[in-house]
Every structure is written in C-alpha cells, then in structure tokens.
Amino acid sequence: MLTITPTVTTLAQRMPGSPAQIQPSTSLADLRAIRASWAQSARDLGYPEMAYKVTTWLGREIVLRPSGRAFKVWSSGNVFALVREYSEQYIPSLSTSLIIRSLAVFTGSPDTRRANLIDQIVLSDNLFKVAYWRWQIVGNEIVEMEDNYFLPGRWFNAFLCAEIEADGFIRQARSEQIENERLTLLAEMLAGQAV
C-alpha cells in the first residue's frame, strides 16, 4: 500500500528574496516575518552601518532653517540617503547624553518643486523609502531602536560601489588626525629646547 504524506512548506523555506516576490495575498503575520527576516539579513551583513558610513563621509551637510536640524545627504542615480545624529537628552548619572542616529534611504525621483533638498526627498510622491534604521548611543553603548527595516534590492549597489571611496576618506581623516597629534606633541616636547 502506497502512503502519500503531504509536505508542509514553512515561511522560512519560501521566504521571498525581494519585494517583487511577495504575493498580494500574503498574510499580515507573514509580511511581518518577511520584514523581520530582511532586517536581520541586513543586520548580519552590516548593511545599515555601511549605508550610514557612506552617507556620513560622502554626503553633504544641509541645515534646515529656522529649526537648525542638520542632515547629511548623499545620492547616486535614483538613490537618496539621509542621516541625522542629534542629542536627545542628558543623562546625569552617566555624565553623557543619549544620542540618536538615524538613516533613511529612498529610491525614485525627488520633488524639485519643493524649497530644499530634504523636503524634495522626504515629501516626494515619487520616492519610496527602502530602508530606515535608528540607533541609540549612550557613551560607548550602541543599541538598535525598534521598527528598523531594510528592503532588499538593486538600490544597495550604489552603497557597495561607494564604500571604497568612503573608506578612503576615513583613512585620510585618520592619517591627518595622527599627523596633527604628532605635530602638537612634538611642539610641546621641543618647547623647552630654546631655553
């Protein structure tokens, strides 16, 4: 006698690799699981940190008036990234401030009718947010905040290509910092020589 056993396919076995593979009938629970899985994959590969590094080192600073909020903005093709770092509150018991660091990545076309580049990106109907990541920093401790997401796609190739350039800027800044420290220390040490 032949017995047929049905196979059960779990969500993990059929996890979509991109948004294009998601079926319109996917349940809310499955959508949440997919989003969490994609975020975990991005976290494991260090993608949010890489996008933050590229935007911080290669982006240009824009300060909004009158609020004074400062952003770094980086773009490549139809990919636009914004980063912001700001002090949230002072923690007296630790003698330091709680710092919030955020990254938002969009793909599409900015709304050039808007007054400033931040509004052109954030308020555009033709740009879609593909990544949003936030961290809390207290002293040397960095903790991810909730509801981070990172949709996989070709848009991330722009960051992969730019990482080498960002790393070059970081190396240059470190070399300049070391040389400045060396010159300062040398000046201090030679100060008494003329006496």
Q: What is the pLDDT of residues 111-122, one digit of tens each?
A: 999 988 999 999
pLDDT(9) > 60: no
Q: Tokens for 175, please give them.
A: 């070399």
Which residues have C-beta within 8 Å of that of residue 140, sequence separation ≥ 6?
Answer: none
User: What's the whole-number mean pLDDT along residues 170-187?
Assistant: 91
User: What's the whole-number mean pLDDT along residues 157-186?
Assistant: 92
pLDDT(1) > 90: no
pLDDT(102) > 70: yes
Q: From CA 153, how far away is CA 155, in angstroms rounded?
A: 5
Q: How confident is residue 175, by pLDDT bands cut at 50, 70 and 90? A: very high
Query: What dihedral angle (degrees, nearest 10) is formed by the CA atoms of 6, 11, 16, 20?
Result: 90
Which residues have C-beta within 8 Å of that of residue 170, sequence separation ≥ 6?
Answer: 53, 57
Q: From CA 132, how far away is CA 172, in angstroms rounded?
A: 29
pLDDT(6) > 70: no
